[in-house]
Amino acid sequence: MRNKNSELQNHLPNAQTIRRFQLQNGITVLAYSNMESKSLTIIGMLDGGSAWDQPEKLGTANFTASMLMRGNEHLSFQEINDKLESVGASLSFSAGTMNTWFQGRALVKDFPMLLSLIVDSLTKPAFPEEYIARLRNQLLTSLIIRDQDTTERAALEFDKVLFKGHPYALPVDGFTDTIAQIQRQDLIHHHSSYRPQHATIAISGALPFEKMEELIRTQFEQWTPMGKPSKPSPAPFQLVQSRTRIHIPIEGKSQSDIQMGTFGPSRTASDFYAAYLGNHVLGQFGLYGRIGRSVRNKAGLAYYAFSSLNALPETGSWEFNAGVNPANVEKTIDLIVDEIKRYLQEPLQQEELEDSKSHLIGRLPMSLESNAGIANALLSIERFELGLDYFQTYADRLRRITPEQILEVSRRYLDPGKLVIISAGAKNEP
């Protein structure tokens, strides 16, 4: 196995083939030249997310990001989209809790145009009133649709309970009443929090490094740093003290969604990899790991039932999800809790741990096949300080982990008596 994996690792981006450099304005760039493709993908991340929003105007960061392509000092909405769509390029901006993101893709010949659009959108948005009104309607409609979505409603309530008091508790896209409150001045004010100093850009695609760097410097060094970056100081996370069980009734739905779980490790925590491997055995390997075998294969209750780690910079959540008939909600919750208890009773079998390790190590090249996959991975390398040799050290990081380490970390995070358990769907009452 080791030799085969070595062969695969030779093809992966490494410290020699990833170029990392900094622009004069403080932007960090990671670039990878992939001459086998015909296009380039660029992904960027900067400070400024819903954590900056005033509570009564929640959704401002997302609204602002969505307005960036609706006109700037040089180009109208029509002209921006005409430039992109006429050559089959794409560009989008979005906001998370702590950051604003952009992602673009173009054929090689159109890449300079894409970079120019990104910089103009980030630095010179016009926020035309006509498009504020139009986008507001679109956002409100998406919230109406969200209200009827069992998966979304369960996830919203889960975040609200688990991250109580912290910006992670609130939806980035806001609520109908907060979206209605947002004015043009709020968008301009939020946009003023964008700074190049802490921004990171990752690029992968069919250009030599020298050309990539030249293009990036030409475009992005136009972005002048203005003032010191400011970050909100969210309240500390509060540990969950007891089991919480909430059902969100949504009538007329054939299927209910369950989301349950608790806190998990942050992406930079020293115990992240042990939890990551343990979770893979518990709810990922093959068709959803042990959870899938219990809920789907043996009981036949669900089309999907799995667990996942949502590892963020400051914290994380360890989540369990399933979609089931409303009559089977409680039975499914019981089965998942039973699996968690069994998982916490004794160390994993060596064989199932080795299966998960070899799967995670073996699939790495597949996740890096596309420019988007590489660019996303490069951004994570920078964001979580993983090192430019991350893909070369990844296998050894996983191989070193023992069943005892996994049991120890799992017991620290998972407590069946303190789970947040949410369901959304028809009738069923807890």
Partner 1 sequence: MHNDIVTFQLANGLKVLLKEIHTTPIISQWVWYRVGSRNEKPGIRGISHWVEHLQFKGTKKYPGEQLDQTISRVGGMWNAMTYLDWTTYYETLPASEVDLVLALEADRMQNSTFDEGEVNAERTVVISELEGNENEPLFHLNSAIQAQAFQLHPYAHDVIGTLEDLQNMTRDQLFTYYRSHYHPANAILSIAGDFNTADLTKKIEHYFSDIPVHSGDSEPILQEPLQQQEKQLEIKGPGDALYIQIAYHAPQADSREFFILTVLDSLLAGPSPLVMFGGGSISNRTSRLYQALVEKDIAVSVNGDVQATIDPFLHTFVLTLNPTADPQQALHTFDDEISRIQNEPISKQEIDRAIQQAEAMFAYGSENITNQAFWMGYSNIFANYDWYRNYLQSLRSITSTEVQTFAQKHFSAHNRTVGIFYPTPQEEHNAK
Query: Which residues touch 358 (CB under 8 Å, ≥6 apart)?
Result: 1
- In the list 25, 266, 308, 325, the residue contacting partner 1 (rule: CB under 8 A) is 325
Q: Does 303 bind partner 1 (CB under 8 A)?
A: yes
Q: Are 83 and 69 in contact, with CB atoms under 8 Å apart?
A: no
Question: Shortest gap between Cβ of 242 and partner 1 (angstroms)?
Answer: 31
CA distance 106 to 209: 17
Q: Binding string, 251-280, against partner 1, x = CB under 8 A?
A: xxxxx-------------------------
Window 99 to 138, contacts with partner 1 (CB under 8 A): 105-107, 134, 137-138
Residue at 362: amino acid letter: G
Give me 240's structure tokens.
């969950």
Q: Does 308 bind partner 1 (CB under 8 A)?
A: no
Residue 81 or residue 266: which is nearer to partner 1 going by CB? 81
Residue tagged 């992109």 (tokens): 84
List the strands of the sheet with 99-107, edge to edge.
18-22, 28-33, 200-205, 39-47, 99-107, 90-95
Q: Does 415 bind partner 1 (CB under 8 A)?
A: no
**Range in contact with partner 1 (rule: CB under 8 A) among 48-56, 263-271, 350-358, 376-384:** 350-358
Sign (positive/negative) of CA torsion 158, 161, 167, 170? positive
Give me 333's structure tokens.
């919750």
- In the list 23, 65, 250, 311, the residue contacting partner 1 (rule: CB under 8 A) is 250
Window 133 to 192, contacts with partner 1 (CB under 8 A): 134, 137-138, 140-142, 144-145, 147-150
Question: Shortest gap between Cβ of 355 and partner 1 (angstroms)?
Answer: 4
Burial class (CB within 10 angstroms; exposed 0-12, middle 13-18, buried 19+) of 8: middle
Residue 8 or residue 344: which is nearer to partner 1 going by CB? 8
Q: Does 342 bind partner 1 (CB under 8 A)?
A: no
Q: Does 2 bind partner 1 (CB under 8 A)?
A: no
Residue 24 or residue 367: which is nearer to partner 1 going by CB? 367
Residue 27 or residue 114: which is nearer to partner 1 going by CB? 114
Q: Which of 276, 285, 288 is nearest to 352 (CA)?
A: 285
- In the list 197, 362, 382, 384, the residue contacting partner 1 (rule: CB under 8 A) is 362
Q: Which of 266, 381, 262, 378 is nearest to 312 (CA)?
A: 266
Strand boundaries in 129-229, DSSP class E: 200-205
Q: Binding string, 373-392, against partner 1, x = CB under 8 A?
A: --------------------
Q: Does 88 bind partner 1 (CB under 8 A)?
A: yes
**Range in contact with partner 1 (rule: CB under 8 A) among 88-96, 157-165, 191-199, 397-405:** 88-96
CA distance 177 to 194: 25
List the strands of the sheet with 256-264, edge to edge.
244-249, 420-425, 256-264, 316-324, 302-311
- In the list 48, 265, 323, 403, the residue contacting partner 1 (rule: CB under 8 A) is 323
Question: Shortest gap between Cβ of 39 and partner 1 (angstroms)?
Answer: 6
- In the list 24, 54, 297, 350, the residue contacting partner 1 (rule: CB under 8 A) is 297
CA distance 57 to 228: 24
Number of chain residues interacting with partner 1 (CB under 8 A)? 72
- In the list 117, 118, 260, 301, the residue contacting partner 1 (rule: CB under 8 A) is 301
Question: Shortest gap between Cβ of 139 and partner 1 (angstroms)?
Answer: 9
Question: Shortest gap between Cβ of 142 and partner 1 (angstroms)?
Answer: 8
Q: Does 360 bind partner 1 (CB under 8 A)?
A: yes
Residue at 54: amino acid letter: Q
- In the list 364, 384, 392, 408, the residue contacting partner 1 (rule: CB under 8 A) is 364
Q: Does 37 bind partner 1 (CB under 8 A)?
A: yes
SS (H, E, C) 101-158: EEEEEEEHHHHHHHHHHHHHHHHCECCCHHHHHHHHHHHHHHHHHHHCCHHHHHHHHH
Sign (positive/negative) of CA torsion 390, 207, 362, 312? positive
Residue 7 or residue 214: which is nearer to partner 1 going by CB? 7
Strand boundaries in 240-377, DSSP class E: 244-249, 256-264, 302-311, 316-324
